[in-house]
Amino acid sequence: MTTEHAAGSGPGAGSRPDAGLSTDEAIRAMLLLMPRVAARLKRTRIPERLRSMNLAPRHLSLLAYLLFDGPMPVNRLAARLEVAPTTVSLMVSDLGRQGVLERRTDPADRRRSIVAITDDPQTRTAIENWLANGADAWRRAFDPLSPADRAMFVRTIGAYENGAAREDD
């Protein structure tokens, strides 16, 4: 990566919006932008109903999967979160004790339990509100893009996360 700086102050500054970015310009822009994004995420207000529960980003991902995709077994949640089933089981137990999640017996296989968000409407509304701000921001960002551009963005962020994870190992 070069240390040359584009003119201007914002991420990607110095380039016309429609001109594209060199790899180094894109890296610079993302290195400047991502700390701001992370800081904004940390400032996301947790609804009162959930505030006392010491929820972390991993809880938000778990709750998002259950809200968007509905109840599912621990193993499927673990696969989606890319963590061990025991980790998800501990998270589910903790959130279950706090009245956020429930384990239900799978009617198709009574040996297996299905994890679901509680039927309590206040809890469900709190989770929906917690996710809504981020969803609204993503909708505003994605709406002007083509489906192909959206897919490329999601793949790029996934590739970045995978690359960063390898560096952590």
Look up tokens 């560096």; give the residue: 167
C-alpha to C-alpha distance for 62 and 77, rounded to whole angstroms: 7
Q: What is the DSSP letter of 114?
A: E
pLDDT in tens, 99-158: 999 999 988 888 888 999 999 999 999 999 888 888 899 999 999 999 999 999 999 999
Neighbouring C-beta atoms of residue 127, cutoff 10 Å: 23
Domains of the chain: 23-45+125-168 (no CATH), 53-120 (1.10.10.10)
Minimum mean pLDDT range among 4-8, 21-25, 75-79: 4-8
Q: Are 103 and 61 in contact (CB under 8 A)?
A: no
Q: Which two tokens stand for residue 150?
A: 């959206």
pLDDT value of position 3:
47
* DSSP designation for 140: H
Report the alpha-carbon distance of residue 70 to residue 111 in Å, rounded.
20
Residue 59 reports pLDDT greater than 90: no
Whether this prediction's pTM lies above 0.75 is answered by no
